[in-house]
Each structure stands twice: as C-alpha cells, then as structure tokens.
C-alpha cells in the first residue's frame, strides 16, 4: 500500500492544488495578485495532472527507465510544492505577527474607536479608555458622544459651537450624506471640569458592506489648545485669516450692489459706501449721525432711536421712512451690533423700497417660480408616487395696502409673508406664483401638514397678520384652498380642485378664510 502511494501522482495533485489555494488566499488577503507564485503553482498543478494522464500507460509498458523518470518527476513536483508552501506559510506568519504588533501599538498609543451605524462603540483603544478614565466594557454598546462626556463636555464640532445634543442630531442620518470610500477629518472641541479646553482630532473612514453604510472608524489624537506649537500655528493662521478677510471685504465693497453702512455710536459718525450714498442721496460717504437722523420721518425718528438704544442682541432690523431730497422713501435697515473695548458700532445693509415694478421687486418675490415649474414639479411627484399637499394662497389685502402705502410696501408685505410661509411649511423652493396675488405651495412632509392644520384653527396665526413700518400699521389677510395629492390624478386636476377650494373660502357666506377640498367635494 505504501509503495503504491509513493508512486501515485494523486499525492502531487493534492499538494499542487493545495498550493494554488494558498496562493489565491494570500492574494485576496493582500488585495494584490501574487503573479509569479500563482503561475508557478498552476504549472506544477498542470504537470501533476499530465503525469496522472500518462501514469497507467507507463506502468503497463513496464519500462523501468520511464517509471523511474516519472517517480523522480513526481518527487520533484512534491518537493517544489513543499518548498513554496513553506515559504508562503512563513510569510503569512510574518504578516500576522506584524498586524498583531501594529494593532497592539495603536491600542496603546492612539485614540481610535469603531462605531456602528447608530454611533455605538464596537471597539475602542486602551489609550482612549485611559484618557477617559473608563474600562473598555464601560464603553461597548454605548453612544460614542455619551462615552466622551463621561469626562469632558462637548462644546463644538468642526469649528462650529454646539453641544452634545446637536452633535447627535448632526449624525442622526449620516448614512444619507456619506459615500463608500469617504475619508474626512473630524474636530471635536471639548472642555473638562476645570474649563480647560482641548480638541479631539480624528481621521474618519466610513465602513460599507454590500453597498450599505455600517459605521465608521475614527483614528486620531487629543491636542491641548494651550500648547505652544498649537498657539503659534493658530496665531500664524489668524494673521493670514485677517488678511484674507480684509481682501474679501474690500472686494465686496467694490462689487456689491447693496447699500452698506457703519454707524460708530461713540463718534456719532456714519460711513456709507457709494451705493448707499447714491440710493439715499447723501452728502458724501461720511456723515454725522445727527444729520442722518434728521432726514428720518418725524413720526419714525423716535422709534428708530429707541430701537438702536435698546439693541441687546447682535442683530436688529427696522423699517422707516427716509427723506431722499424730494420725497420720503421706505428703507429697511438690517444691522449687527459690535462691541469692542468701550466702543459700540452698528454695521449692516440698508435696502430702499420705492417705485417697484410688477416684474422686478428686488425682494424674494423675484425668486418665486412660475406656473410651468409648478406643473412639472407636481407631475414629477405623481410619477414618484409621493404624497403631498397643495396649498393655493391669495393675498387679498394687498390692493388695499398698495393704495395706502404704495406698491413698494405691498410687494414687501407679500415677500415677507411668503418667506414666513416657505420657512414654516415648504421644502426647498416649491413655491410658485400663478397670478398677481395668487401663489401655490407644495408641502411634502406630514408633520408640516399637521402644523398647517393646527395653525389654521386659529386664523390669526396665519391668515390675518399685523405688521408695522415705522409708525404705519396694517394687516395682511390671506385666503387658502388646500387639497391632498390623493384627491386628484395629475397636475391639472389638483390645481383645479385647490382653486375650487380657494373659491369657496373667498365666498362671503363661507365660515372661514381657508377651505380643504375634502370638506366640500
């Protein structure tokens, strides 16, 4: 039996096939084809099968010379397989040792953590645990940001001030924003119990499996904000940033079409750029505060001064009438309060509202989209089988406001109301103008549909809004017709039914200023 096995080519075939398997496995592990070994192992496998093919014929011939040559050939094949196999196992063992030592080194010296798709800790380095004063078992399956706050308080992310709750919110739908292969730098600003600030700097790599986001790995270090190298680097960067801000500011002043001002309260001086000088017909770029205030309408001046003196927050906004030489025009001042040393300065933009045409208003009305866009977007939503709500609005009090205050203020009122409606209910730019006073909004989020329904129950929250410009006061009155996408089959149908609902709401005998189509069909 032993004599037969020594002469059988089956042993050579088994060895050579096993060698091919080992080489393929190593290629997969290294993510690189080991071409010389693969070719040589395939040649040995081919020779083994070749010997097997002629084996019976040689045995039957009883030619001892051929038999000896075949036996020697099989022994050489087996010897070569064993040599290559030994070298391969030796290399694999070396790589395994290297990986183990590398992992151990990272575990003891670097801050790294492996997170699942819900930001729960799956693996964490010992160095990170030592810094946090925790055991690894205390970290596993807990939210990463909760683990950090075992010792620190999170105060910022990537240069923006925020707390732990806001950071968690930022990562809630992270899988929607990342792609396979993404690598980012993450900076997490932290503060300890002694109010000493530092930052965790990570290189982030996302992990995907079968095309789905599974989590991410963060590798980095903690850097003390007060370290000398860090301070020098930030100081150098700050100087460059200031230079860049200066260049940008000069460019903006030169290129902008907005009226920009700086009101230095302590010096009773106002500086205005050329655009604002032209719009307000001022006597030069620099004027005294008193001279500027004297050109504000007498009924609005006290309100204006009161607003400026009562500004406690950084930003403020006020509308007043300003004498441009031959007439008063409405202007809107949007400013920012800056305090440095003992000085206070107001800076911002002044917009002039006068003689607007219907086609161009210099307000957000110019950005409202058209009927054609409305039809295209609705049909696209139907094709995608998405549920939505269509709201048809008519700003019925605008003609009265135009007559009382002028078209400039009428346009401004429409613009501000539509901005409010868009911010509260409409996703993106799904707001359209169908006629002079009629607009259509598309609501695609269920919670916003419910919010609209709740606010409409108290009509004064949405359909009858008071406003003031200087000391002038007025009211914006709005009617609405509303329908769900399920109540129609295409764009023309749903536009028709919402217009029908709007018509009901405009009927003086109808009980409300809004109407849902489902209530009348």
What pLDDT, on a 0 to 100 scale, did the predictor assign at position 452?
92
One domain, residues 100 and 234: no
Q: Do 31 and 138 have their domain in common?
A: no
The pLDDT, as a whole number, for residue 96 is: 46
pLDDT digits (tens, 9 = 90+) for 414-457: 888 888 898 899 987 889 988 888 999 999 999 999 999 998 98
Q: What was the pLDDT predicted at 355?
A: 43
For the four alpha carbons of 9, 12, 18 and 24, in that order, the dihedral sign comes to negative
Q: Which residue has the higher pLDDT, 187 or 92?
A: 187
358 part of a folded domain: no
pLDDT at 80: 75
Q: What is the mean pLDDT of residues 285-314?
A: 84
In this structure, are 268 and 395 located in the same domain? no
**Residue at token pair 């309260």:** 265
Query: Same domain, yes or no, for 512 and 485?
Result: yes
Which domain covers residue 234, as residue numbers?
230-256
Pair (370, 273) in one structural domain: no
Please check whether residue 359 lies inside any domain of the structure. Answer: no
Do 222 and 250 belong together in one domain?
no
Are residues 137 and 49 part of one domain?
A: no
Confidence of residue 245 (pLDDT cuts 50, 70, 90): low
Residues 271 and 202 in one domain: no
Mean pLDDT of 90-114: 57
pLDDT, residue 1, reads 35
Same domain (yes/no): 100, 184: no
Find all residues with CB under 8 Å of 222, minimum gap 6, and list them. Answer: 111, 131, 198, 199, 200, 201
| pTM exceeds 0.75 for this model | no
341 and 420 share a domain?
A: no
Task: Output the DSSP codes for 127-177.
Answer: HHHHHHT--HHHHTTSBHHHHHTTT-EEEEETTEE--HHHHHHHTTTGGGT
What would the pLDDT profile of 116-137 be if each residue is shown by its tens digit? 889 999 888 888 888 888 988 8
**Mean per-residue pLDDT of the chain:** 80
Q: 10 Å Cβ neighbour count for 353?
A: 23
What is the widest separation between alpha-carbon atoms in the chain? 128
Q: How many domains does the chain have?
A: 5
Domain boundary among 353, 386, 412: 353
pLDDT of 389 higher than 90? yes
Output the pLDDT for position 111: 84
Query: 83, 108, 133 — which closes off a domain?
Result: 108
**398-411 tens-digit pLDDT:** 888 888 877 777 88
Residue 406 gets the label, from left (phi > 0), alpha (psi -120 to 50) or beta, of left
pLDDT above 90: residue 372: no
Question: Each residue of 210-244: pLDDT tens digit?
Answer: 778 888 888 888 876 555 345 445 555 666 666 66
Helices (H) and strands (E) in the chain, counts: 17, 19
| Mean pLDDT, range 242-267, rounded to an integer | 74
Percent of the chain residues topping a pLDDT of 90: 16
| Residues 12-65: tens digit of each pLDDT | 777 777 777 777 776 776 556 767 777 877 887 777 777 777 766 666 666 767
């Amino acid at each position: 039996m032993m004599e037969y096995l020594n002469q059988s080519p089956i042993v050579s075939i088994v060895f050579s096939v096993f060698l091919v398997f080992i080489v393929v496995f190593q290629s997969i592990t290294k993510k690189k084809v080991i071409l010389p070994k693969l070719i040589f192992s395939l040649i040995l496998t081919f020779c083994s099968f070749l010997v097997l093919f002629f084996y019976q014929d040689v045995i039957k011939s009883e030619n001892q010379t051929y038999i000896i040559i075949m036996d020697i050939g099989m022994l050489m094949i087996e010897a070569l397989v064993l040599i290559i196999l030994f070298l391969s196992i030796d290399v694999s063992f070396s790589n395994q040792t290297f990986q183990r030592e590398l992992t151990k080194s990272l575990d003891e010296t670097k801050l790294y953590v492996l997170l699942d798709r819900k930001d729960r800790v799956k693996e964490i380095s010992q160095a990170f645990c030592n810094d946090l004063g925790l055991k690894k078992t205390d970290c596993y399956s807990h939210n990463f940001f909760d683990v950090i706050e075992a010792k620190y308080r999170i105060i910022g992310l990537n240069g923006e001030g925020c707390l732990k709750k806001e950071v968690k919110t930022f990562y809630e739908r992270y899988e929607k924003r990342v792609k396979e292969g993404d690598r980012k730098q993450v900076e997490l600003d932290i503060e300890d119990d002694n109010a000493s600030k530092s930052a965790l700097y990570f290189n982030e790599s996302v992990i995907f499996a079968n095309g789905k986001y599974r989590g991410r790995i963060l590798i980095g270090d903690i850097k003390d904000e007060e370290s000398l190298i860090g301070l020098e680097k930030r100081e150098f960067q700050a100087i460059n940033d200031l230079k860049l801000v200066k260049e940008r500011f000069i460019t903006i002043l030169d290129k902008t079409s907005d009226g920009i001002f700086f009101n230095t309260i302590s010096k009773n001086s106002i500086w205005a750029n050329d655009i604002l000088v032209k719009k307000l017909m001022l006597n030069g770029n620099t004027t005294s505060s008193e001279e500027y205030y004297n050109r504000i309408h007498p009924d609005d001046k006290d309100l204006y001064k009161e607003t400026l003196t009562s500004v406690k927050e950084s930003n403020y906004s006020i509308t007043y009438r300003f004498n441009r030489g031959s007439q008063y025009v409405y202007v809107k001042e949007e400013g920012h309060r800056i305090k440095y040393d003992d000085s206070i300065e107001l800076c911002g933009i002044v917009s002039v509202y006068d003689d607007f045409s219907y086609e161009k208003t210099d307000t957000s009305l110019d950005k409202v989209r058209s009927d054609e866009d409305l039809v295209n977007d609705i049909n696209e939503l139907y094709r995608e089988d998405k549920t939505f709500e269509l709201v048809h609005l008519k700003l019925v009090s605008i003609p009265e406001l135009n007559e009382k205050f002028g078209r400039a203020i009428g346009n401004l009122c429409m613009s501000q109301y539509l901005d409010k409606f868009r911010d509260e209910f409409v996703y993106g730019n799904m707001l359209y103008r169908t006629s002079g006073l009629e607009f259509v909004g598309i609501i695609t989020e269920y919670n916003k549909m419910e919010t609209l329904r709740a606010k409409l129950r108290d009509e004064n929250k949405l359909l009858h809004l008071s406003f003031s410009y200087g000391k002038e006061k007025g009211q914006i009155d709005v009617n609405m017709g509303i329908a769900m996408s399920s109540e129609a089959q295409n764009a023309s149908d749903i536009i028709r039914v919402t217009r029908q609902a709007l018509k009901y709401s405009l009927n003086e005998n109808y009980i409300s200023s809004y109407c849902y189509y489902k209530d009348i069909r």
